[in-house]
């Protein structure tokens, strides 16, 4: 197969250079919340989950949703980067490396997308005003960040990246999508600023680009620095492919080693992240108090007749592919060898996926040796509800996770 971008002969199983690291193949386990840090610390289940991904053949596995500070968390059961968590993460990276894969840590800040009330004031984000998500948690308002706030948070991202390197991670992924803080700046749905951190797509990209530069400086080229980027918010008035392409150019200029192209917004279009309907009934069962309004509203907003199709972000991703020459990974429901090959044929360098691997961690090896051509994942999205389960994410078609593994890791 020939890449339309480089002309080189590549397959999904060809090695891939990302900044300073070489992946054994083009498959990346995408960052997707595992729900396996029930008391805010890594568990045996989290290590097993990513060890299984590595043993199953991926080139790199991404540990999701490591907050850069306690205030950056969205959930109580989310870990944040600290000296305390470092030895436990080191157990995980060693397990992944022992199976021949690279390990990436997704670093993030929730901004106003949080269930946790600050000790003082309101959650900080791009613009002040009513907090639609916070309302469901009894947090009615949000506060616009000052430039000093932005510098503090950029430094927190940098420190988180340093700790990730100390923990043995080969890469970090700065989360700029899905309605979290950096997307709150990038998206016109949430950024109504009139200073140079708002306005057009270039202005809205300034703070996320500052974070990228700060992280790059912090790790000094010793690990890869990647970004997860919304190519579309899939909501009226949100980021579109043209705006995302401009942001991608800025991130390329400022040294990102890879962009993972995703889409959809946790508040405005969560179904778009998955390309198929959300499990509304299960979401209602988990919701408590005012939060029960969320699934009800979602059920009203979710498009009728929505059906899964592979490569559901391909059309918008082509716009970004034309705009930059840097390596790009495409998310979007890859469940077959044919689709993985098409991703590369379209000029993208890597295939990022999660649900097919949650269903079968050995999916990549089985594609490689011919045991499989197509995943049996049904795209029902019921695995998503595992983030609220103390035993973590699992495919509902498989046996339950072992509750004995939900205990905190013993540090080395």
Q: How far apart are CA 204 and CA 189, in angstroms?
A: 11
Half-sphere exposure of 306 toward its Cβ, with a 13 Å CA cutoff? Answer: 20
Mean of the per-residue pLDDT values for the chain? 94
Known catalytic residue at 312:
no
Across 397-411, average pLDDT: 86
Backbone angles phi, psi at 198, to 5 degrees: -135, -160
CA distances from 141 to 46, 115, 129, 192, 390 (A): 34, 13, 6, 15, 30
Q: Looking at the whole model, is its pTM more than 0.85?
A: yes
Q: Report pLDDT digits (tens) over 93-133.
A: 999 999 999 999 999 999 999 999 998 899 999 999 999 88
**DSSP letter string over 214-272?**
HHHHHHTTSSEEEEEEES---STTS--HHHHHHHHHHHHHTT-SEEEEE--BTTT-HHH
Q: Residue 408 corresponds to which tokens in the numbers above?
A: 């905190």
Residue 328's beta-bridge partner residues? 259
**Active-site hit among 65, 180, 286, 388:** 180
- C-alpha closest to that of 86 among 20, 169, 155: 169
> What is residue 134's predicted lDDT score, i.e. its pLDDT?
87
Q: In the structure, what pLDDT confidence band is assigned to residue 4 with cuts at 50, 70 and 90?
A: very low
Q: What structural domains and CATH numbers belong to the chain?
A: 16-393 (3.20.20.70)
Question: Please, where are the H alpha helices in 69-173?
Answer: 86-98, 132-135, 147-166
Average pLDDT over residues 259-269: 95
Nearest to 15 by CA among 369, 350, 338, 355: 350
- Provide the pLDDT for residue 412: 53
Beta-bridge partner residues of 40? none
Q: Which 3 state secondary structure label does DSSP give 336?
A: strand
């Amino acid at each position: 197969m020939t890449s339309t971008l480089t002309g080189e002969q590549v397959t999904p199983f060809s090695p891939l250079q990302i900044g300073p690291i070489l992946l054994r193949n083009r498959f990346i386990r995408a960052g997707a919340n595992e729900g396996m840090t029930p008391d805010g610390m890594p568990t045996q289940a989290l290590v097993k989950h990513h060890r299984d991904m590595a043993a199953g053949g991926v080139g790199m596995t991404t540990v999701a949703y490591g907050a850069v500070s306690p205030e950056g968390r969205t959930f109580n059961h989310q870990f944040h980067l600290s000296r305390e968590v470092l030895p436990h993460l080191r157990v995980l990276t060693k397990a992944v490396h022992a199976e021949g894969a690279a390990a990436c840590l997704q670093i993030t800040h929730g901004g106003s997308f949080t269930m946790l009330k600050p000790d003082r004031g309101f959650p900080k984000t791009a613009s002040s005003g009513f907090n639609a998500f916070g309302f469901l948690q009894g947090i009615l308002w949000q506060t616009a960040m000052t430039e000093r706030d932005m510098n503090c948070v950029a430094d927190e991202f940098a420190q988180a990246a340093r700790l990730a390197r100390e923990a043995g991670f080969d890469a970090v992924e700065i989360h700029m999508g899905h309605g979290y803080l950096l997307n709150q700046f990038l998206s016109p749905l949430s950024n109504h600023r009139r200073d140079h951190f708002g306005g057009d797509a270039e202005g809205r990209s300034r703070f996320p680009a500052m974070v990228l530069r700060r992280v790059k400086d912090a790790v000094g080229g010793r690990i890869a620095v990647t970004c997860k980027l919304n190519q579309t918010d899939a909501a009226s008035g949100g980021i579109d492919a043209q705006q995302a392409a401009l942001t991608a150019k800025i991130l390329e200029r400022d040294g990102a080693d890879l962009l993972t192209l995703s889409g959809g917004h946790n508040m405005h279009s969560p179904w778009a992240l998955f390309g198929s309907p959300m499990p509304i009934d299960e979401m209602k069962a988990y919701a408590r108090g005012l939060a029960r309004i969320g699934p009800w509203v979602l059920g009203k907003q979710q498009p009728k007749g929505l059906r899964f199709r592979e490569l559901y972000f391909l059309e918008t991703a082509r716009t970004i592919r034309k705009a930059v020459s840097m390596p790009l990974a495409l998310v979007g429901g890859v469940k077959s060898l044919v689709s993985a090959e098409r991703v590369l044929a379209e000029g993208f360098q890597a295939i990022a996926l999660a649900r097919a691997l949650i269903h079968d961690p050995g999916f990549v090896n089985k594609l490689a040796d011919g045991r499989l051509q197509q995943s049996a994942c049904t795209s029902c999205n019921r695995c998503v509800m595992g983030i609220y389960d103390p035993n973590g994410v699992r495919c509902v078609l498989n046996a339950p996770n072992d509750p004995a593994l939900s205990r905190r890791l013993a540090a080395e």
